[in-house]
Amino acid sequence: MIETDSPQTPTLSENIVDITPENFQQSLIDESMKRLVVVDFWAEWCAPCKALMPILEKLANEYNGQFLLAKVNCDEQQAIASQFGVRSLPTIALLKDGQPVDGFMGAQPESEIRQILEKHLPKEYEIAFKDALEKIAEGSLHEASSLLNAAYLAEPKRSDIAMTFADVLIELQNLEAAQAIIDSIPMQDQDNQYNQVKAKLELANEATDSPELKALEDQLAASPEDTSLIIDLAVQYQQAGRNEDALELLLVCLRKDINSADGEVKKTMTDVLSALDNADPTKARYQRKLYTLLY
């Protein structure tokens, strides 16, 4: 442990901190286990340091918590600078998981610093995935679904994202979308998580095949022009998470008569669309189809 007579541990913000022996472990080592830490070794007499520091502070605030800027005044904290082997100023070290992963010496233009940071900062889809996991833990599944949709669209080959998204969709009774995602998982990624989510989906699908729903399907097969049966079956499909089946059934009816059942079929389709999450691609697809019929 590095000793010092100074009791101060000044903190400038959540994204920028002055390093002292007292906060060395927490702000450098421990924090680097959670996010990237950019260590700026500087001194008052160093002109390039003073040119570089405003750029680093601007970036720390702009990236808003994606990395911590840890400033080490080498005149005041010589033992810390020596521990890092600093030989010239300014020196920048990037820490991740307690270890240096990159760095540079001397003042650099903002564009160069951005390029260095981007190599080590999480991608937008990774941030969305992390936020989604927090929303799931809170029980905010609709918010999690929107975040997972963004992450999945950005990186569909990340099977952990895909399977988490499918799991949330099952909870939200959007079984068709969940099935499409499960079907897209490549063989090499079909692990225990995949088997668990697939089994959960199969159970959910079995639960949707209620006797009432099957009875309605049989009645409609016998009377395919009965709009009241079409509406009742569409509502049952929607409640069972079979949203695309519901929308397709109503759309076929509307193609024959846009004002079918005095507008009740159109109203039912609008209600089903309104109930869908905005992140659900089914919603946008059938909104376009309905718009085409209307206009």
Q: Which residues are annotated as catalytic? A: 46, 49
Which has the closest alpha carbon to 105: 84, 79, 119? 84
Single-letter amino acid code for the residue at 134: E
Distance between CA 202 and CA 211 in Å, rounded?
17
Q: How far is CA 199 from the centre of its chain?
A: 24
Place of tokens 């033992």: 79
Q: What is the 3-state secondary structure (H, E, C) of 26-58?
A: HHHHHHHCCCEEEEEEECCCCHHHHHHHHHHHH
Q: Are 233 and 220 in contact (CB under 8 A)?
A: yes
**60, 97, 114, 186, 204 from 53: Cα distances, Å:** 10, 24, 14, 47, 56
For 160-186, give the DSSP string: HHHHHHHHHHHHTT-HHHHHHHHHHS-
Distance between CA 65 and CA 63 in Å, rounded?
6
Structure tokens at 220: 């409609």
* Dihedral (CA of 72, 76, 77, 81) sign: positive
